[in-house]
Structure 1
Amino acid sequence: MEPFGYHNRTSLDDESILSGQFWGELRVFLAVAKAKSFNRAAEILNTSQPTVSRQVKRLQDQMGSQLFVSTKHGVKLTVKGQALAQALSRLDHSLYALTTDLKAETKDAEGIVRISITDGLNTFFVAPAIPSFSVDHPKIQLHLKSPMNVVNLRENQTDMMIGFSPVDATDVSVRQLGYLHFIPIVAKSYIHQFGIPTGSNLSKHTFLQSELYSNKARLWEAWNHVVSQGRVVHACDNSMAYGMLVKAGLGIGLLGSYVVLEPNAVPLSLDVKIDIPLYALALTERLDSRPVKIVFDWLCEIFSETNPWFSSDFRLRHPANQFDDGIKKLFNI
Structure 2
Amino acid sequence: MTLDYYRIFYYVAKYKSFSKAAKILHNNQPNISRTMNNIESEFGCKLLVRSHSGITLTPEGEQLYEHVAIAIEQLYQGESEILSNKTLEHGHISIGVSETALNIFLLSKLEQFHKAYPQVKIKLSNHSSIQAVDALEKGIVDIAVVTSPINIKKPLHTTSLYCFEEILIGGKEYENLSNEILDIQQISNYPFITLGKNTSTYTYYSNLFLNQKIPFHTDLEVATADQILPLVKHNLGIGFYPKELISKDSDIFEIHTNIKNPERDILLVQDASRATNIATQKFIDTISL
Unaligned regions of 5+ residues in structure 1, if any? 1-100, 302-333
Does residue 271 of the first structure (1) align with residue 258 of the second (2)?
A: yes
- 1:105 alignment counterpart: 85
- 1:218 alignment counterpart: 207
The one-letter code of the counterpart of 1:207 is: F
Does residue 297 of the first structure (1) align with residue 285 of the second (2)?
A: yes
Matches of 1:249 and 1:104, distance apart in 2: 54
Does residue 196 of the first structure (1) align with residue 181 of the second (2)?
A: no
Distance apart, 1:102 and its partner CA? 6.3
Instruction: Give the number of equivalent residue pairs.
Output: 195
Distance apart, 1:131 and its partner CA? 3.0
Distance apart, 1:290 and its partner CA? 1.6
Does residue 139 of the first structure (1) align with residue 123 of the second (2)?
A: no
- 1:22 alignment counterpart: none
* The one of 152, 158, 164 aligned to 2:141: 158
- 2:159 alignment counterpart: 175
Matches of 1:235 and 1:166, distance apart in 2: 21
Q: CA RMSD in A?
A: 4.0
Indicate conservation of the 8 Å contact 1:287/1:293, yes or no: no
Distance apart, 1:223 and its partner CA? 9.0
The one-letter code of the counterpart of 1:271 is: N
Matches of 2:86 and 2:204, distance apart in 1: 50
TM-score scaled by structure 1? 0.46
Distance 1:134 1:203, change over 3 A: closer
* The one of 241, 251, 255 aligned to 1:255: 241
Matches of 1:125 and 1:216, distance apart in 2: 21
TM-score scaled by structure 2? 0.52
Q: How does 1:27-106 map to 2 (within 5 A)?
A: 105=85
Matches of 1:296 and 1:225, distance apart in 2: 40
Indicate conservation of the 8 Å contact 2:88/2:279, yes or no: no
Does residue 281 of the first structure (1) align with residue 244 of the second (2)?
A: no
Matches of 1:223 and 1:182, distance apart in 2: 19
Q: Give me the identity figure in percent.
A: 13
- 1:207 alignment counterpart: 192
Matches of 1:107 and 1:276, distance apart in 2: 35
Matches of 2:240 and 2:213, distance apart in 1: 10
Indicate conservation of the 8 Å contact 2:85/2:278, yes or no: no
Q: After superposition, give the CA deviation of every residue in 1:221-280 in whole Å (9 maximum; x if it has no partner).
A: 47995977xxx65332433323442344432112223223x2235432112423334431
Which has the bigger relative contact order, CA under 8 A and spacing at least 6?
Answer: 2
The one-letter code of the counterpart of 1:269 is: H
